[in-house]
Amino acid sequence: MLFNKNQATLRRKMVQNQIEARGIHTPKILAAMRKVERHLFVRPQHLNLAYKDGPLPIDYDQTISQPYIVALMTDLLELTPTSKVLEIGTGCGYQTAILAELAKVVYSVEIIPALAKRAKARLEALNYRNVHLKKGNGRYGWQEYAPYDAVLAAAAPKTVPTQLVQQLAVRGKMVIPVGDSEQNLLLIRKEFQNGKRSTPSIAATEVTPVSFVPMTGDPN
């Protein structure tokens, strides 16, 4: 089936049936998911699947995440118009675009040069001027612009990388899939204990089982 001209309708149905129906009701998240055209980020042969309920393959054995998971991870970060976000794993740039709709600035790291180049061109063509991309190993973050109010990882390490925790601002939140054959999505918070300005503590909450590509460069 060729992709038709009803993409706006398909996006509205995607949000209603896949996202709102699963309990995400934050208006700005729903608005961003309705606005960003997911079909522009998928392979041409997958245009008819762009708004279906599931991930899709992109090149280099990577994926574009399921719409619900994109919305869930973004919602957990509780972004504001002043938020500075670090994204690990730009991929095709879809999640990046969603973040850019909600945050002041997004710094995104992609380890595969060809994907980084394509995502940069795509996001620039869509006029996302608050996104900065670089090619690199995401497990080391992007120290130059730390600390970040929010960190989102779209690849799963076996354990949470220390560098990402260090680059998270106090009172910041990180959403990251963690695990090997079995993965869980974690929400990590960095807070001062009892409100006192001492060494901040880290609290991690398991959100839901997930399945992401492994984070490149994971130690054995």
**Which helix (DSSP H) or strand (DSSP E) does residue 85 occupy?**
strand 84-88
| Rg from Cα positions in the chain | 17
Q: Are strands 84-88 and 148-153 parallel, antiparallel or unpaired?
A: parallel
65 has catalytic annotation: yes
Where helices occur in the chain by DSSP H, the ranges are: 7-14, 27-35, 67-77, 94-102, 113-125, 162-167
Query: Out of 65, 83, 108, 198, which one is annotated catalytic?
Result: 65
Neighbour count for residue 74 (Cβ, 10 Å): 26
Torsion-angle region of residue 147: left (phi > 0), alpha (psi -120 to 50) or beta?
A: beta
> Could you give the CA distance from residue 168 to residue 171 in angstroms, rounded to a whole number?
8
Q: Which residue has the tokens 């208006």?
A: 27
Catalytic residue list: 65
